[in-house]
Structure 1
Amino acid sequence: MKSVKFQNPDMAWPIAANIQFPPGFDETKAYPAIVSIHPFGSCKEQTSGNVYGKALAAEGFVVIAYDASFQGQSGGTPRWVEDPTQRVEDISRVIDYLVTLPYVDENRIGILGVCGGGGYAVNATLTEKRIKAVVSITGVNIGRLFREGFSGYNPLGALAAIAAQRTKEARGGELQVNELLPASLDVARQAGLTERDVFEATDYYKTPRGQEEGGATRMLFSHAQKTLAWDAFAFAETLLTQPVMVVVGQKIGAFGAFRDGMEIYGRATASKDRQLVSLEDWSHYDLYDKPEPVGLALDKVTPFFKQHLA
């Protein structure tokens, strides 16, 4: 693995990434490459890099897992901004970097995203035609989630609160950084937060199972307004022409990955090859790192990428 930082001429800050190489890597050859995108509140050292990135590199791909702008080891201020437009632009900038590497075949680039990263992967693929195949792993349309559960099903109320907070900060007030999860499983239990996705997210992000310094699970509240008006799947029926694979777990949670996965699979009618992998016994966070469901997903994802990036 090689850790890099790169900065395009139109960028005001660097992007931090880890590149994983296939066995017997030969830098004089040109390899298929995969961009691996981390979830909302995550970082490159978690599921996108150390699970899916590692596995796909072992299968012959050059894989780049990176930190989103304003997050992890990437640059950008203020910190902990979750801006869907920027997140999608990051993908194109990562591809801009990939196509400068002599060992990457510019005509064989795929993309994989987990959770919110899955929604961003789909959205980028609508207009970024350097992407030849896309995989969404328990992908979430973050705009839909913000309009619903994350705003308490009161998006207009959330927008009013964001507006007030942004004015306060513009006048020199303290930034409001929201912690998205309970501090521990015990805190979750004490608060009665037993809903599947919330509890399992805490088990992943707040315990040694998945905890990483860069995976802050924080969000700057005052800069979240544009997310409520964003839709990962807008124009998918017309623009999503590349092969697409959607992986979902059938154990449903509040974050809505099963629902979003079924929606984009149903709407991807212009895709050259659309495939649904629906895993009966597994949940959203099982697909982050648990060996059996991840293995079942990779049994489909790996040949899919090999077929379309051959």
Structure 2
Amino acid sequence: MKSVQIKNRDMAWHIAANTLLPPNFDEKKQYPAIVSVHPFGSCKEQTSGNVYGKALAEQGFVVIPYDASFQGASGGEPRWIEDPTQRVEDISHVIDYAVTLPYVDADRIGVIGVCGGGGYVLNATLTEKRIKAVVAITPVNIGRLFREGFSSYDPLGALDAMAAQRTKEARGGELQVNELLPASPDVAKANGLTERDVFEATDYYKTPRGQQPGGWTRMLFSHAQNTLGWDAFAFAEMLMTQPMMVVIGERVGAFGAYRDGMEIYGRSTASKDRQIVSLEDWSHYDLYDKPEPVRLALEKLVPFFKTHLGGATAASRSQAAE
């Protein structure tokens, strides 16, 4: 694994990323690459990197998990902004980095994302045609979730509150940073927060099972207006032309990944190869790191990526000459 700081001329900050290399890596060869995108409130050291990223690297891909702008070890101020437009743009910036690597084949780049990251990779694939295949693990359309459950089904009220808070902060008031989850599973139980997705998210992010220093599960409330007006799946019928796979669990929770996965699969009629993997006995957060559902997901997505991205090849003549 190599840790890198990606700087792009379009940004005033860096993106922190890890480059995961295949076994017996040979820098004289070219490999297919996969950009791995973490969930909302997460970081590259969690499921996108240490589960799916690690497994895909072991299967022969160069994998680049990274921290979103304003989050984890990446730059950007103020901290903990969740801006879908920036999140999707980050994917293109990481691809910009990947195509400069002599051991990456620029014509064989895929993306994978988990939860909110799944929604972001699907959205990026609509317009970023350097992406040749996309896999979304229990994807969530974060705009839909904000308009519904995250705003208590009062999106206009949430927008008014965000506007008032942003004005307060512009006048020197303190930032309002919202913690997205209870402090522990015990706290969740004590407060009756036992809905499946909320409780299982707490069990993942707030215990040694999934805790990482960069996975803060925080959000700057005043800068979330764009999220409520964003749709991960806009124009999917027309623009989702690349091969696409969605993996969902049938134990449904409040965050709506099963519903969103079914929707994007149904709408992506222009895709060259659309597939859906529905796991009967598993939930959203089981797919983050539980060995059995992850194994079932990998059994489908690894061959999918190998079909559409291929394996390592000899370097091009121009590179060999260099």
Q: Which TM class, normalised by the smaller chain length?
A: over 0.9
Q: CA deviation at 1:146?
A: 0.2
Instruction: Confirm whether residue 209 of structure 1 aligns to residue 209 of structure 2.
Output: yes
1:169 counterpart residue number: 169
2:280 counterpart residue number: 280
User: Does the residue aligned with 1:272 lie in a helix, a strand or coil?
Assistant: coil
Give 1:184-195 correspondences, 5 Å limit.
184-195=184-195
Q: CA deviation at 1:10?
A: 1.5
C-alpha distance in 2 between matches for 1:308 and 1:46: 26
One-letter amino acid of the counterpart of residue 297, structure 2: A
Instruction: Confirm whether residue 197 of structure 1 aligns to residue 223 of structure 2.
Output: no
The share of aligned pairs that are identical, in percent, is 82
1:250 counterpart residue number: 250
Give 1:223-262 correspondences, 5 Å limit.
223-262=223-262
Q: CA deviation at 1:6?
A: 1.5
One-letter amino acid of the counterpart of residue 158, structure 1: A
Instruction: Confirm whether residue 7 of structure 1 aligns to residue 7 of structure 2.
Output: yes
2:297 counterpart residue number: 297
C-alpha distance in 2 between matches for 1:82 and 1:11: 16
1:46 counterpart residue number: 46
Instruction: Confirm whether residue 220 of structure 1 aligns to residue 220 of structure 2.
Output: yes
C-alpha distance in 1 between matches for 2:299 and 2:51: 14
One-letter amino acid of the counterpart of residue 225, structure 1: Q
Aligned-pair RMSD on alpha carbons? 0.3
C-alpha distance in 2 between matches for 1:111 and 1:242: 11
Q: CA deviation at 1:188?
A: 0.2
C-alpha distance in 2 between matches for 1:129 and 1:269: 17
Instruction: Confirm whether residue 151 of structure 1 aligns to residue 151 of structure 2.
Output: yes
Q: Deviations over 1:33-78 (max 9, x none)?
A: 0000000000000000000000000000000000000000000000
Give 1:114-153 correspondences, 5 Å limit.
114-153=114-153
Q: Deviations over 1:229-256 (max 9, x none)?
A: 0000000000000000000000000000
User: Does the residue aligned with 1:194 lie in a helix, a strand or coil?
Assistant: coil
User: Does the residue aligned with 2:248 lie in a helix, a strand or coil?
Assistant: strand
Q: Deviations over 1:207-250 (max 9, x none)?
A: 00000010000000000001000000000000000000000000
Any gaps of 5 or more consecutive residues in structure 1? Answer: none
Any gaps of 5 or more consecutive residues in structure 2? Answer: 311-322
Larger CA deviation: 176-185 vs 7-16: 7-16
C-alpha distance in 2 between matches for 1:87 and 1:154: 24
User: Does the residue aligned with 2:29 lie in a helix, a strand or coil?
Assistant: coil
One-letter amino acid of the counterpart of residue 2, structure 2: K
User: Does the residue aligned with 1:55 lie in a helix, a strand or coil?
Assistant: helix
User: Does the residue aligned with 1:88 lie in a helix, a strand or coil?
Assistant: helix
User: Does the residue aligned with 2:276 lie in a helix, a strand or coil?
Assistant: strand
User: Does the residue aligned with 1:6 lie in a helix, a strand or coil?
Assistant: strand
C-alpha distance in 2 between matches for 1:260 and 1:6: 31
Q: CA deviation at 1:173?
A: 0.1
One-letter amino acid of the counterpart of residue 222, structure 1: S
Matched residues, number: 310
Q: CA deviation at 1:85?
A: 0.1
One-letter amino acid of the counterpart of residue 196, structure 2: R
One-letter amino acid of the counterpart of residue 107, structure 1: D
C-alpha distance in 1 between matches for 2:12 and 2:305: 33
1:19 counterpart residue number: 19
Q: CA deviation at 1:11?
A: 1.2
C-alpha distance in 1 between matches for 2:5 and 2:217: 22
C-alpha distance in 1 between matches for 2:35 and 2:15: 13
Q: Deviations over 1:113-154 (max 9, x none)?
A: 000000000000000000000000000000000000000000
Q: CA deviation at 1:9?
A: 1.4
C-alpha distance in 1 between matches for 2:193 and 2:9: 46
Q: Deviations over 1:132-186 (max 9, x none)?
A: 0000000000000000000000000000000000000000000000000000011
C-alpha distance in 2 between matches for 1:65 and 1:18: 6
C-alpha distance in 2 between matches for 1:6 and 1:246: 28
One-letter amino acid of the counterpart of residue 177, structure 2: V
Q: CA deviation at 1:107?
A: 0.4
Query: Following TM superposition, where does structure 1 have runs of at least 4 consecutive aligned residues deviating by more than 2 angstroms?
Result: none
Q: CA deviation at 1:268?
A: 0.5
Give 1:22-33 correspondences, 5 Å limit.
22-33=22-33
Instruction: Confirm whether residue 178 of structure 1 aligns to residue 178 of structure 2.
Output: yes
